[in-house]
Amino acid sequence: MRDEANLARAAGPMTALSAEDRMLAATLQHAVYELQATTGTAMVPLEGGRALANIIVVGDPLSVFTVADRHPVDDDRYTGAVAYRTGRQCVRVRSETPSGVRPAMPFPYAMVATPLTDDEGRSFGVIVLVWADPVGWAAKSARVRHRCKSLVAELSRALLRRGGLPPRRHFPGVPRFILARPTGEDALLESVSLSLVYQIGRLSAELSQAPGLRDVVETAIARIMEPFGARCLAISVVDEGRPRLLGYEGVGPALAARLVNASTGTLEEETSNDAGPSPPDRPLFFEAVDTDEPITAYCLLPLAIDDHTAGTLALGFDHRHTFKADERAALTRMAQLLAQAIGRARQFETERRLAQELQQSLLPPALPQHSEMDIAARYVTPTTGTVGGDWYDVINLPDGGIGLVTGDVEGHSPRAATTMGQIRSAVRAYAAEGHRPADVLTRTNRLLSDLGTDLLATCCCVWLDPEAETVEISSAGHPAPLLGHPGSPFAAPELPLGIPLGVRPDTCYGSGQAPLREGTVLVLYTDGLVRSHSVPLGDGIEALHARLATSGDLRLEVLADHLLEITGGNRRDDDAAVLIAQFLGLGADRSQRVARTFVHRHDLRAVADVRRFLRAQARSWDWEAVIPDLELAVTELVTNGLVHADSKVEVRLREYADHLRVDVRDSDPRPPLPAPVLTSGGTDDESEHGRGLLIVDALAASWGNSPSGRGKSVWFELTRPTASAKPES
């Protein structure tokens, strides 16, 4: 039996490891060599005990493919997690190659996880041994388990005499790899090559799952900057012949921009031509830099796609750093992987933007405004960037009623979007002729059959009659809308559910009716709202009812955002549309509760006309006290819309009992983001664009932005001041 001194001596020359980690490494190496295991790992708790991280790995090159750097403590799929949580040894044996697309270990294996425990049986780490393709495991299982317990118990006692393992507040994500077969008795020899191969493998795997540029940059930070101990990272790309800073971490944007251009070994400003510095055409490594900046060493790695330099990856260090040959080779390979991922992400985002623009061009340009109805709508595309066939519409009916429509064409392709546009146009045309919902669907179905398309479509038409306070609904295979009457839960009304459009040309559809009382909320949606690959339809519908049941007094815009979260997550595999309407009633003063005005594109002089409109409307509604705040906020938003969106701008006012709501709408679908105040005093388009939102944020009781037809709406609300707060006349 070894004692603590022997364990410490066994650590040999690995001075970069702490004494406790050298003891872990020595025990692992001895166990792997004696028991002929494929891999041995030492795991310690991180993040307040919520995760386990592999800090040391001993094994053959195969060990690179059997190690996950960390996993949750409460996940029973991991043998080490079970052993750590229970404080007891855990053994798992798989005699066949595991199934699944990406198994952690794609071969039969035996695994023994033994916890490091204190005198009270509490775990403070885990030792895990793995045997790939175990032969005769049953005959040696008992001996191996007993020997593992013996070695780990001895290690636990030695560590506890030193005070246990120090807590890990940060783990860079790369275990230390130790060769399985010692060159001399009890000698430890780290395999830097295995560590670098592991880093390249993890980077490649995670970049393949990074769809967007933000994901790529975050992966580079976690898998390149942090494992190499760099102080900072900066990535630039070439756009239209000029370098542009794509992302950075650890320093500010000014120093990051200088770093990616510092190809001569200095962080001073560099220029090579009118277009600015060019990315380097080969890797550059500067091990010592004399500068006042916190960066004293750095490297520049070209990002090349198809033999064309498309950008630069820069890593900066706050200490002298020697770039050895194997590290240079690994960093160069990582830059190649990063360049490919950036190319894929930029292509993906281009395709997604085109898909969104095509889809939004088929949506209504703006929802009509009605004094008796409050309406909110949302449409979201799949994360993959493909075009979908979901849509919504709001129609002014010839008899004074209001038509709400949602529909879904099968598939995700330009053909699905085109078919959706044809159906939407047909529904609008038949509604304009005065047909009832069932007749609209019957005629649209016949037209769809005549067009010869083989795509099926579902559609739901809801005609609202505010005067009669009734709702007439007809559905062609589409989810029935949910109605929430005041004091009652949301429920789907009983109505005949017809077959989808395009199945049989002679189909006649039926309809049903429901009461429309003041305060009634209607929710129309497509199945992408409640179903995805990870959310079954039944669970999604249950979640929809649960969210509606707790919606309370939420504004419709806020409620629409909450409903999109049911299957939203980070990745959405289907497009979705939701249309929400609330009947406000037909009070005597209802006609005075809404107003709107328009400004033609780029007509900045008309902003003064908007202010006059606001003053007149506020005085007629007895809202004089908010005129200064109202004018300032609307002026900022209208000016931003005219400058940054190539469209006319619409301003809508709606009066409620205790607040005034203002919507400023344009055709630019990109959401606005507040910009930080620049302490240097510099300004640019983005900072000016953000300044208006900072003003709105300071003046309004609440504000936000939301999609609105083909563009967006930036809205805010002003509350009615109390009598004591009104200014003197």
Token look-up 């160069």 returns: 332
Query: What percentage of the chain has pLDDT greater than the value 90?
Result: 29
Which 3-state string (H, E, C) describes 677-717? Answer: CCCCCCCCHHHHHHHHHHHHHHHCCEEEEEEECCEEEEEEE
Residue 295 phi, psi (nearest 5): -105, 120
417 vs 673, higher pLDDT: 417
Which tokens belong to 186? Answer: 């009890």
Indicate whether 558 pLDDT > 70.
yes
Indicate whether 25 pLDDT > 80.
yes
Residue 449 CB neighbour total at 10 angstroms: 16
Q: Determine which of 100-114, 144-158, 682-696 has the lowest per-residue pLDDT on average.
A: 682-696
Q: What is the pLDDT of residue 688?
A: 41
Q: Determine which of 59-63, 343-347, 670-674 has the lowest per-residue pLDDT on average.
A: 670-674
Nearest to 20 by CA among 168, 175, 158: 158
Most confident residue range from 348-352, 581-585, 644-648:
581-585
Is the whole-model pTM more than 0.85?
no
Indicate whether 259 pLDDT > 80.
yes
Q: What is the pLDDT of residue 538?
A: 85
Judge contact between 113 and 126, C-beta under 8 A: yes
> Of all residues in the chain, what percent are helix, strand and coil, respectively (each to 5)?
35, 25, 40
Indicate whether 369 pLDDT > 90.
no
Mean pLDDT of 421-436: 91
Nearest to 367 by CA among 12, 725, 713: 713
Q: Determine which of 99-103, 279-283, 349-353 has the lowest per-residue pLDDT on average.
A: 99-103
Judge contact between 624 and 728, C-beta under 8 A: no
Mean pLDDT of 415-442: 90
Indicate whether 377 pLDDT > 60.
yes
- Alpha carbon distance 298, 205 (integer Å): 26
Q: Determine which of 106-115, 226-235, 439-448, 707-716 has the lowest per-residue pLDDT on average.
A: 707-716
Indicate whether 636 pLDDT > 90.
no
Residue 33 CB neighbour total at 10 angstroms: 15
Most confident residue range from 51-55, 167-171, 360-364, 381-385:
51-55
Q: What is the pLDDT of residue 103?
A: 54
- Alpha carbon distance 279, 298 (integer Å): 15
Mean pLDDT of 534-563: 84
Q: What is the pLDDT of residue 245?
A: 87
Indicate whether 183 pLDDT > 60.
no
Ordered DSSP codes for 531-564? --SSS-HHHHHHHHHHHHHT-TT--HHHHHHHHH
Mean pLDDT of 432-454: 90
Mean pLDDT of 75-86: 92
Q: What is the pLDDT of residue 1?
A: 37
Q: What is the pLDDT of residue 674?
A: 45
Q: What is the pLDDT of residue 180?
A: 73
Indicate whether 413 pLDDT > 50.
yes
Mean pLDDT of 556-565: 85
- Alpha carbon distance 234, 536 (integer Å): 41
Which tokens belong to 582? Answer: 């609330």
Which tokens belong to 294? Answer: 């916190």
Rounded to the nearest integer, the mean pLDDT of the chain is 82
Mean pLDDT of 511-531: 91
- Alpha carbon distance 633, 617 (integer Å): 15
Which tokens belong to 250? Answer: 């650890």
668-721 residue pLDDT tens: 666 554 433 323 333 333 334 455 677 887 888 888 776 665 667 788 889 887
Mean pLDDT of 20-42: 90
Judge contact between 338 and 302, C-beta under 8 A: no
Indicate whether 729 pLDDT > 60.
no
Residue 467 phi, psi (nearest 5): -65, -45
Q: Which domains does the chain have, with CATH numbers?
A: 4-190 (3.30.450.40), 195-356 (3.30.450.40), 364-583 (3.60.40.10), 593-725 (3.30.565.10)
Q: What is the pLDDT of residue 364?
A: 74
171 vs 435, higher pLDDT: 435
